[in-house]
Each structure stands twice: as structure tokens, then as C-alpha cells.
Amino acid sequence: MRPDVENLIALQQADKEIHRLKEEIAGLPKIVAAIEAKLAGTKAELEKAKGAAKADEANKRKYESAIQDLQGKISKYRDQSLAVKTNDQYKALLQEIQFAEQEIRGNEDKILEVMMNVDNRDKEVKAAEAELKAETAEIEKEKDIARQKTAEDEKLLVEWNAKRDAARGGVAPDMLAHYDRVAKHRGSGLAEVREQKCMACQVMLRPQTYNEVRSGERTIVCDSCSRILYYNPAHDAQMTAAVATATKRRRAHPKFDASQAWYYRPEFADLGEVYLSFTNAGGSSTRRIFDAQTGRRLGDVLSREGEYRLGFPEDLKDSIRLNGNWTEEDIDGWNDEMPTTVIDALQRDLDLARAEASRERSRTESVPVQQPAAS
């Protein structure tokens, strides 16, 4: 491999790591800010609970002083009643006294209500205080972790920046300019070629371009994504060997009654090329859809009654059955994205299945056909 390509590989790795570190450093204050927002919320809760307790206290005092006033009025009416001349006047005073007594009872009820609430208020205030204390401790801890992590990342960033500068120094200026331009738009400026494919955009190279990349004599960029292409014989030799053994072997045919089945569909519900995986278990079946190019899982995992041929008959139309068997735990562990080894294995089996189908076709179509008369 040419030294400038080796430097570009080192540069791409440094760029990727620098990007990751910068993202991580930028993300740390956000974690702290989120806890701080939670803390502010708890503080507001506490203030509210305290405010409510204060309002209760003020109301209680208001009702108590109202009772005092009413009691004053009653004793005033009693004094007056001793001096009245007529029965009517006496009756009127008695009525006033009764009315005031009724009002006193009303105020006493309200005081009782407030008192019954005091317990709840106390609990609210205490809970908010405890939460505030816990959150304050947590935020200090988080801030500490963030500070430490930032310091570590900053140190790594200095190291990676030095590696980056060294790598850049070893690449020709025009090549570097091209790399920078593509990296700015696509996130990376360099791609490996394996099995005649650009590993970044997955587009097949023309044979001549492929040979030029392999020879490594001059800089070749991908027609489709413009990334600078390089070829690593160590990687591709493994691939070629794997493909060679796979092609030599007769293609194993998937079992009809296997508990797991993989299918390829060139077109599936506007999703383009997909792999479908079905699993039968306990009288029902589940279906997963994966993008055949990126390996990303599409849509939700779907479960239906009955084994998959009964549950998902419409999905099997125009499909190619493939070999593939991974445990459900494996599939769940992929985190919604098939590993490259799985994509490669399915792709290889698909190639073999297609080759087999075309051999089959040419055999059945080799029946002599009458040639139309020359015009």
C-alpha cells in the first residue's frame, strides 16, 4: 500500500475519533443541564408546598380572629338585652346572638378543615425537601463525572490532533484537498474496496476502475460517492477465499420446516430491497424486515398466529429463500442493525441462489426455438 494511502487511513481514523470526542464533550453539559432542570422543578415544588402551608396558617388566623369578633358581638348583645324595654327588641337581639353563634360554628369548621390539612402539607414539604437534598447530591456527583470525562477527552483530543497533523503531513496536497472536500459533505473521504465494491456507498466498480484501484498506481475516486478508494489485499484475499469455497460447494438448500427462515425480496412495500426473517415458536410466528443494503431493521417486529407460511403468506410472493440461522438472542443483540458478516453471508447465499436459478433457466430454455425469417 502506498504511504499516502496509509496516512489517509490514519487520518480518517483520527478524524473519526476527534469527531466522537468533540460530540461527547459537547454532550456532557447537556446531561448536567437536564439534572439542573429537574432540580429547579423540585425547588419550585418545595416553594409551592411551603407557600400552601403559609396560606393555611394565615387562613387559620383569619378564622380565629373572626370568631373573636363574633364573640365580642355576642357579649355586647347580651349586655344590651338586659336593658331592653320591649319583647320585640329582646327577640331581635336574641336573633342576632343566634346568627353570630352560627357564624362562629362555620368558622370553627373551617379551622378544623385547615388543621386536617396540616399533616398532608407537612408530608409534602418534607418529601420535597428530601428529594431536593438527594438531587443536589446527585448533581454534584454528575458534575464531577462530567468534569473528569471532559478532562480525559480533552487529553485524548490533543493526542488525536497530533496524530491527525502527522498523517496530514504525509499526504500530497491535492489528495488532501479532495479528501477534505468529500469528508465535509459525506462525513468520510476515504473508502476501502472489497469484492469490487466501494465499501462506503456499496456501489460496484467498473472492472477497469477496480483494476486501477488494485494496482494502486494513481489515486482513484469512487464514481458514485467521490471518496478516495484504496485496496487492502489482506482483507480482500480473505473475501476471495471465502467466496471461492462457497461457490465450489454446492449451495445448501434451506429446510422447508426450519424454525427460522430468511427471504430476499427485490421490492417490498416501498422499502426497496429487503431481507425478511421469520421465526416460528409456540404456534405463532414473528417477522423482521431488514434493509438489504444497509442491514438496518425496518418497522416493528410483527407477530402472528400460526407458523409463518400461514401467518405471512403475502410476504413470500416473488421472494428468494436463503440460508441463514441465528438465534433470537443474536438477532436481538444486533441492535436493529445486522452485522456486516451477516449481510455478507446473506448476500453470498443470494448470489449463489441467483446463479443456481439462472443455470436452471438456461437448461430449461435450451429447447431449440424456431428463428424468425431474416427480413
Closest CA to 64 of 19, 6, 139, 115: 115
Is there binding between residue 222 and Zn ion (CB under 5 A)? yes
> If you search the block for the grid coordinates 468534569, which residue do you land on?
147
Q: Which stretch binds Zn ion (CB under 5 A): 56-64, 81-89, 157-165, 192-200?
A: 192-200
Rounded least distance, CB 11 to Zn ion, Å: 18
Is there binding between residue 225 and Zn ion (CB under 5 A)? yes
Is there binding between residue 201 and Zn ion (CB under 5 A)? yes
3-state secondary structure of 157: helix
Q: Which stretch binds Zn ion (CB under 5 A): 105-113, 146-154, 191-199, 349-357?
A: 191-199
Pairing relationship of beta strands 320-322 and 260-265 according to DSSP bridges: antiparallel
Q: Which stretch binds Zn ion (CB under 5 A): 174-182, 201-209, 285-293, 307-315?
A: 201-209
Is there binding between residue 205 and Zn ion (CB under 5 A)? no
Closest CA to 181 of 170, 189, 191: 189
Rounded least distance, CB 226 to Zn ion, Å: 7
User: Which residues inside 316-375 make contact with Zn ion, applying CB under 5 A?
Assistant: none
Is there binding between residue 18 and Zn ion (CB under 5 A)? no
Q: Which stretch binds Zn ion (CB under 5 A): 35-43, 91-99, 193-201, 303-311?
A: 193-201
Is there binding between residue 224 and Zn ion (CB under 5 A)? yes
> If you search the block for the grid coordinates 480525559, which residue do you land on?
152
Choosing from 8, 171, 198, 338, the residue that interacts with Zn ion (CB under 5 A) is 198
- Rounded Cα distance, 56 and 115, in Å: 8
> If you search the block for the grid coordinates 429446510, which residue do you land on?
255
- Burial (CB count within 10 angstroms: exposed 0-12, middle 13-18, buried 19+), residue 359: exposed
Is there binding between residue 228 and Zn ion (CB under 5 A)? no
Rounded least distance, CB 222 to Zn ion, Å: 3
Query: What is the sign, positive or negative, of the torsion defined by CA atoms of 207, 211, 216, 219?
Result: negative
Element (DSSP H or E) covering residue 97: helix 87-169
Binding site for Zn ion (CB under 5 A): 198, 200-201, 222, 224-225
